[in-house]
Amino acid sequence: MTMLGAGDAPGGCGCSEGSVGGSVPPCPTSVEDLAVNPFLALRVAFGMLLGEDDFRVLMGNPRGKQMLHSAWLHGAGVVWGLGVGQDGDELRVAPGLAVDGLGRELGLEASWCLSLSAWAADRVAHEPQQPASPECPGEPRKLTGWVVAEFTALPDRPVPALADPCDVTRRHDDFSRVVESVRLSIRPAAPAPWRPFPRVRGLLGLDETGPGAGPDRAAAELPAEIAEAPPHERALRLLHTFRRLAAEDARQAAPRCAEGDACPPLLPVTEEHAGVVLAKLSVDVLVSDGTVQVGAVTVDQDVRTVILPTTTVQELVCGLAPALLGQTSQPDAGGPRLEPGSVRWSRGNTCLSFCVTAPLADGSLDRSIEIHSLSDHGYGWSTDEVRSVRLTDGGLRVVVDLDQAPAYELVRVRIRGTGPTPCYGREPKAPFAGLRGGPPGTREEGHDAVVTAQLTRTDGAGRADA
């Protein structure tokens, strides 16, 4: 049976005092008793005699599947609590929950404390120190450590056990429980972080080693290429690029193998790097006459990784919506807007009509509508004069009369919501806000609406190209 996480599992009693310099006090461990095999399930039949190995298979299957799911799809990190703080000479870790790199839950039910003086003395005794200069014999020394939570297990509740009477090494009792616990220690170095999908991280600008330093240097140039695409194509182009790079990252991903492993593991990291970093310590110590005195202590908890619930991730993704829907710095003032499909030309192209979403104020349209047409033969733009503007349907429909049909077939109509004489709404008193569905307008400034039409020339109407 394959035992995931049972090769070089850390020991430890799970006691509140923890370990000082990363050393583990001698204590029996039952990590190997926690069978883990996600691809081996028990098949029972009527009359089958079940033994110890059968129950290991029964428990190891769901445990292994849960570990695979948590390790690969969520990664290691803190779920809640496990705050690290200083209380005098003690370093305290509050209760909490985390998931390690092998997908195992780390639950700390009671506060854990450690003497900083004892830890500093142990570090000073085991690490070589540069000789002090004659000018500064008592110069302080800075120690750095990483508070790491690791998985451990402790056998519990012994019960009488059956044994072969001829076996002189037999035990008359055995443990009936395995208590999953947490071992906390201060390491000189942090466990190597697991950073999967390097190409995707480079695409999204999350490559901590700098642009183009990942396995695919071209990924650093892709964001600029996507930004050059038309706005309505950027989202789909980003999605296509994301899927391509994610597929390549997944194809090359593989579990890390510990030195000497005979068969490949199934989990992303090894036991050595499965711990969860809770904080980074920086401690000033002064060594004098064989004694170690602790000075200033800095606890940096920003180095930890936190696992967010899926519901929170969903809501955070909604925060990206302005990139697609447009930024909204303030609410819309309620100004009228043009209904794009309502523009009509009639009476030999000498009459233009359109509808708006809210009643317009009488007289505000006299100088807010401009009509120009463009020649197909290089004569440029022509200004087409507006003779009169009137409102119908309670101010919801505008009828524009021209002196004559536009000079050329390509016609551009501009309804002003900006400038000194914009079109205004009747209630509320707000400037014209542009096209329906456009960006919000304010009470001080709205938006122009522009509609372009390719008209058909009628006999006797308009001015022909010279």
pLDDT (0 to 100) of residue 128: 64
Q: Which residues contact 87 (CB under 8 A, 6 or more apart)?
A: 113
Fold topology of 340-454 = Immunoglobulin-like (2.60.40)
pLDDT (0 to 100) of residue 4: 39
Q: Does an H or E element contain 386, and which?
A: strand 386-392
- CA atoms of 57 and 265, how far apart (whole Å): 18
Distance between first and last Cα of the chain: 93
322 cis-preceded (ω within 30 degrees of 0): no
Q: In terms of residues, how long is the chain?
A: 466
pLDDT (0 to 100) of residue 223: 81
Q: Does an H or E element contain 454, and which?
A: strand 449-454
395: left (phi over 0), alpha (psi -120 to 50) or beta: left
Each domain of the chain, given as residue ranges in start order, spans: 31-128+137-196+253-318, 340-454
Answer whether 5's CB lies under 8 Å from 36's CB.
yes
Count CB-CB contacts under 10 A for residue 197: 19
pLDDT (0 to 100) of residue 433: 94
Which residue stretches of the chain have pLDDT < 50?
1-29, 132-136, 209-213, 459-466
pLDDT (0 to 100) of residue 393: 93
Q: Does an H or E element contain 69, and which?
A: helix 52-73
- CA atoms of 363 and 136, how far apart (whole Å): 87
Structure tokens at 225: 């290429």
The CA-atom distances, in angstroms, between 456 and each of 345, 371, 384, 409 are 10, 16, 16, 6
Answer whether 181's CB lies under 8 Å from 149's CB.
no
pTM: 0.66
- Closest Cα partner for 407 from 351, 463, 461? 463
- Widest pairwise Cα distance in the chain: 121
Q: Which residues contact 317 (CB under 8 A, 6 or more apart)?
A: none
